[in-house]
């Protein structure tokens, strides 16, 4: 049974990703299917250092340099704790006292980006995650313009996929305050980013750095709903382990591997293993998945034979579509879907003789279903593989 489960989950993942890679997430189709989202932190994750610390060190303002350690501590308090507790105002006060000027900040920011080095394997990880079907985003407590400049110049990521804080300046160009646009901590920011991208929390991954397992509890509420916390640099229990459940949080699987800092592309294999498990929960069991394959192909087949169908056959076809649609909606978790209820209503009209243009109706339904699942096509070979798994599963 173990070999069967492994082979089946690999098959499900392969077929799902084949579909996802063809899917157009733009426009009207965007809301109909769960989106895969991978959010990277920057410091000690995409880079091997802390850019905030480097930013302050690069400033000409001597008073800023003298407060590097204090400022770093305040920023960590602000982005890691669930409650603000006055850290933001204290940070603003300390920075205002340095009389930091915007022109000094801009010069230091540009130098910091030039000097920043990506973690080895970061670009390869981005490439492979994108090929799987993930949307990539960056989130950091650092200034947004610094994050965007780093993303475009070092990570080849559009600025619109970046999130960070905002430094505000007064009329004379002196620092006035910092505003965190999406939240004070990683949990709050990640929840907001997920909503912005229309991403199911089941399929959201956040990768960051945490140096000790005690700190991980801060993100527990986010990943308790099914997402994955992928931590770079957690001390391993022994040399062989790269993943484990924490005793304190048994329902959440955390991955930690210090070697990820040496080659971030190893993330991809961890993500694939996790993704297979998450995707199989969407499809229930092999029998259900087999029926799903047949249902999708049935829509295309029905549409191509409309002209040759008599009224009774069309009625039966609509009844089958009703069941198929409910099944597809349940298993693929389409959002805001009213297709099933609309089909049921139209079926009642059809049975009572009130529907005059049966062929037109079925054609509309087929078009609507195809709009939900564009480019979905399972070959006979695909379906035969799943059918065999379904037969084994029933035994």
Distances (CA, A) of 155 to 122, 269, 310: 8, 20, 58
331 vs 136, which has greater pLDDT?
136
189 vs 100, which has greater pLDDT?
100
Q: Please write the tens of the pLDDT for every residue from 337-368.
A: 455 555 566 566 656 655 555 556 566 656 65
Please tell me the predicted confidence (pLDDT) of residue 149.
Answer: 96
Please tell me the predicted confidence (pLDDT) of residue 283.
Answer: 45
Lowest pLDDT segment from 242-246, 281-285, 290-294: 242-246
Mean pLDDT of the chain: 68
Q: What is the arithmetic mean of pLDDT over 225-243?
A: 54
Please tell me the predicted confidence (pLDDT) of residue 133.
Answer: 72
Q: Count of CB atoms within 10 A of residue 347's CB?
A: 17
Contact present, 192 and 183 (Cβ < 8 Å): yes
Please tell me the predicted confidence (pLDDT) of residue 357.
Answer: 55
**Which tokens is 360 given?**
């037109």
Is the pLDDT at 389 greater than 60? The verdict is: no
Q: What is the arithmetic mean of pLDDT over 101-127?
A: 94
Please tell me the predicted confidence (pLDDT) of residue 256.
Answer: 54
If pLDDT is split at 50, 70 and 90, which confidence band does 112 have?
very high
Is the pLDDT at 384 greater than 60? The verdict is: yes
Q: What is the arithmetic mean of pLDDT over 19-31?
A: 38
DSSP states of 178-194 as a string?
A: EEESS-SSHHHHHHHHH
**Which tokens is 131 given?**
């090929």
If pLDDT is split at 50, 70 and 90, which confidence band does 110 have?
very high
Please tell me the predicted confidence (pLDDT) of residue 205.
Answer: 81
Q: Please write the tens of the pLDDT for every residue from 53-101.
A: 899 889 988 888 888 788 777 776 666 655 556 777 888 888 899 999 9
Strand 249-257 and strand 243-246: pairing? antiparallel
Please tell me the predicted confidence (pLDDT) of residue 101.
Answer: 93
Q: So what's the architecture of 34-282 in CATH?
A: 3-Layer(aba) Sandwich (3.40)
Q: Find which of 94-98, 230-234, 386-390 is predicted with most confidence, using mean pLDDT.
A: 94-98
**Domain segments of the chain: what residues?**
34-282, 286-394
Kindly give, in sequence order, each residue whose CB lies less than 8 Å from that of residue 291, ignoring residues fewer than 6 positions away.
Answer: 327
């Amino acid at each position: 049974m173990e070999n069967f489960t492994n082979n089946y989950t690999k098959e499900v993942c392969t077929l799902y990703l084949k579909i996802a890679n063809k899917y157009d997430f733009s426009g009207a189709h965007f809301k109909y299917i769960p989106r895969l989202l991978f959010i990277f932190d920057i410091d000690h994750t995409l880079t091997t250092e802390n850019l905030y610390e480097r930013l302050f060190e690069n400033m000409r303002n001597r008073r800023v340099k003298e407060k590097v350690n204090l400022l770093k501590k305040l920023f960590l308090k602000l982005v890691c704790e669930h409650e603000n507790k006055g850290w933001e105002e204290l940070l603003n006060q300390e920075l205002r006292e340095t009389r930091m000027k915007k022109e000094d900040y801009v010069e230091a920011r540009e130098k910091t980006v030039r000097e920043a080095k990506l973690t080895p394997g970061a670009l390869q990880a981005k490439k492979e995650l994108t090929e799987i079907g993930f949307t990539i985003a960056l989130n950091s407590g650092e200034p947004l313009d610094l994050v965007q400049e780093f993303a475009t110049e070092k990570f080849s990521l559009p600025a619109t996929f970046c999130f960070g804080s905002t430094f505000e300046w007064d009329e004379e160009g002196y620092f006035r305050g910092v505003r965190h646009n999406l939240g004070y901590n990683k949990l709050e920011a990640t929840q907001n980013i997920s909503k912005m991208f229309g991403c199911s929390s089941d399929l959201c991954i956040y990768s960051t750095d945490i140096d000790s397992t005690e700190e991980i509890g801060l993100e527990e509420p986010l990943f308790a709903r099914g997402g994955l916390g992928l931590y770079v640099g957690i001390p391993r229990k022994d040399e062989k382990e790269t993943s484990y459940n924490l005793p304190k949080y048994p329902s959440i699987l955390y991955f930690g591997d210090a070697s990820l800092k040496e080659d971030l592309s190893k993330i991809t294999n961890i993500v694939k293993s996790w993704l297979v498990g998450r995707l199989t929960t969407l499809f229930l069991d092999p029998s259900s998945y087999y029926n799903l394959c047949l249902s999708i192909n049935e829509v295309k087949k029905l549409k191509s034979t409309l002209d040759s169908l008599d009224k009774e056959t069309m009625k039966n076809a609509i009844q089958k579509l009703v069941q198929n649609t409910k099944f597809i909606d349940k298993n693929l978790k389409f959002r805001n879907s009213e297709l099933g209820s609309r089909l049921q209503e139209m079926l009642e009209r059809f049975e009572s003789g009130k529907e005059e243009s049966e062929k037109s109706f079925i054609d509309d339904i087929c078009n609507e279903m195809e709009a939900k699942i564009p480019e979905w096509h399972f070959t006979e070979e695909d379906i035969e593989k799943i059918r065999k798994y379904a037969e084994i599963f029933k035994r």
